[in-house]
Homo-oligomer: A and B are copies of this chain.
Amino acid sequence: MTARNVLFIMCDQLRADHLGCYGHPWLRTRNIDALAARSVCFENAFVSSGVCGPSRMSYYTGRTATSHGATWNRVPMNIGEITLGEYLARHRRSLALAGKTHVVADEDGIARMTLAGNNEALAARLRVGHFHELDRYDGHHEPGSESGYPAWLRAHGYDSARPWSDYVISVQDDAGGVHSGWKMRNVHWPSRVLEAHSETAYMTDQAIRYIEQEGDTPWALHLSYVKPHWPYVAPAPYHNLYSRDQCLPLKRSEAELVDQHPVLAAYREQEECRNFARAEVSDKVRPVYQGLIQQLDDHLGRLFDTLERLGRFKDTLIVFCADHGDFLGDHWLGEKEIFYDTVQRVPMIVYDPSPLADATRGTRERRFMSNIDVVPTVLDSLSLPIDDARIEGRSVLPLLRGEPCGDWREFVVSELDYSFRRARLILDRQPDECRGWMVRDARWKYVHWQGFRAQLFDLENDPDEFVDLGSAADLEPVREAMHRKLGEWQRAARTRVTVNDALVLRTTDVHKSKGVFYGEW
């Protein structure tokens, strides 16, 4: 059965372990949990990179960071890349956007094609990754004209040229003093916007309005929240909904700081890690981070109620996911990027409206899903063709429907290009020497770093990844085997993007039919 609509929900920097349905003991994410109860919840969903930009471009193209070329934030994809919105457009469908994409225009590529002036419509679509922008809001900057949010805030009485800086991420203390939410020391105070005027509330409103307006016309929406990403500022009452003892314990061990891997040591010198290494910081931030998730869940309740009211659970594919997690002091790290499961593993809930998926509802799937699987899953659900010359992910519909799908992947890979980071300067490396790759299977996690020793973790005996076995002599065969998997993965990349397999099948060994008779005696 073919879905009619697509609702592709992403949260930014949301850890998988910070949802009730993924085992959080205190967070009350009842709406997300209710979605999981009618969906399949992927226990082992991983992103292709623990950085917003590359992870999102993989979500949008179905291709790895190596293949789409956006190896870090602010790096445009190769102009030859095709995104979900463009695949849908080929079938007269559009992909609406409410929220964040992190798509950066390849202005050099557009200039090279002389699209500007000659083909403004296409240039404009490429600049936004072929989304139809209801309201684009990339977050953590003062929004510009791409979003209606600043004007809406002003219309609601927030009288400022910079309402995001002055209200949304500013906080007010008990004495009326105003402080910047950029400083994590201040985030226990509430935001200066009312909850109903917060980023999460605003973007949920956009989504609900769109879904209501579309009615029975088939639609596809990417609802992409900027929260719980920093600045870790929440409006009341979410700023102090949780106490420190309702947060997960810090996942770190003093042993991790002994004989540190050089790249990790460099990361731990960066400001965000030095700060998150102090209990004072994580104690302050984690309750607010949970509050932001609680807020998201409450607004998702509004959204799901709308779907229910309109009968949209009958005909809408729903994907709920995140672009990566957040260390919040785990492993003596702040932010993201590095290859621990805390950041690389993401929540992934897939709701298939087809009755064929009824048998799996509420189940948990342990096979590996990757963010590159979302594009083929969406296309498959809509019964649209999947471009096998380009798309490297696989549709997970067979997993949802208990259908045979042959061998499934036994490992996932994630990538990092830290050349834009201070860690590069600390390590005194050139921009082309800063790549790392993680290979993770059910038992082992292996990390290959350019120019440094590898890392290895035994996930069975050390699920918290505290013991780096990268130098353990007896495990060289394991590292070797994992390194081979990295090679397999690299060699399986879809590089022949201009010719699909069907054309290869049709044109194998056809030279004589084209008048070419080499090799005849």
Contact = CB atoms under 8 A, between A and B. Distances in A.
Interface of A: 65-67, 69-72, 74-80, 82, 86, 106, 108-109, 112-115, 118-119, 122, 140-142, 180, 182-185, 230-231, 270-273, 275-276, 278, 281, 334-335, 388, 417, 419-422, 424-425, 430-432, 435, 437, 448, 450, 480, 483-484, 486-487, 490-493, 495-499, 501, 504-505, 507-509, 514-521
Contact of A275 (B276, B486, B514, B519): B519
Contacts of A483: 484, 487
A125 to B, nearest CB: 10
Contacts of A106: 498
A501 B77 contact: no
Contacts of A501: 430-432
Q: When A and B form their complex, which 4 residue pairs have the shortest distance between CB atoms, in order from nearest?
A: A272-B519, A80-B80, A182-B517, A431-B504
Each complex incorporates copies of this chain amounting to 2
A142 B69 contact: no
Contacts of A419: 504, 508
Nearest to A108: B498
B519 A335 contact: yes
Contacts of A450: 491
Nearest to A275: B521
B76 A498 contact: yes
10 contacts: A80-B109, A109-B498, A230-B518, A271-B520, A334-B519, A417-B496, A421-B508, A421-B509, A487-B487, A490-B490
A273 B518 CA distance: 11
Contacts of A76: 498-499
A388 B441 CA distance: 34
B420 A509 contact: yes
Nearest to A280: B521
A71 B520 contact: no
B491 A435 contact: yes
A493 B334 contact: no
A114 B124 CA distance: 13
Which of A184, A230, A480, A504 counts the most chain B CB atoms within 10 A?
A504
B119 A113 contact: yes
B270 A519 contact: yes
Contacts of A518: 140, 182, 230-231, 272, 335
Contact of A114 (B119, B182, B230, B496): B119
Contacts of A480: 480
A257 B114 CA distance: 55
A387 to B, nearest CB: 10
Contact of A420 (B108, B498, B504, B521): B504
Contact of A69 (B140, B432, B495): B495
A450 to B, nearest CB: 7
Given A109-B80, A114-B122, A420-B509, A521 B74 contact: no
A432 B492 contact: yes
Contacts of A231: 518
A123 B69 CA distance: 24
A281 B521 contact: yes
Contact of A516 (B71, B78, B140, B430): B140
A145 to B, nearest CB: 17
Contacts of A504: 419-420, 431
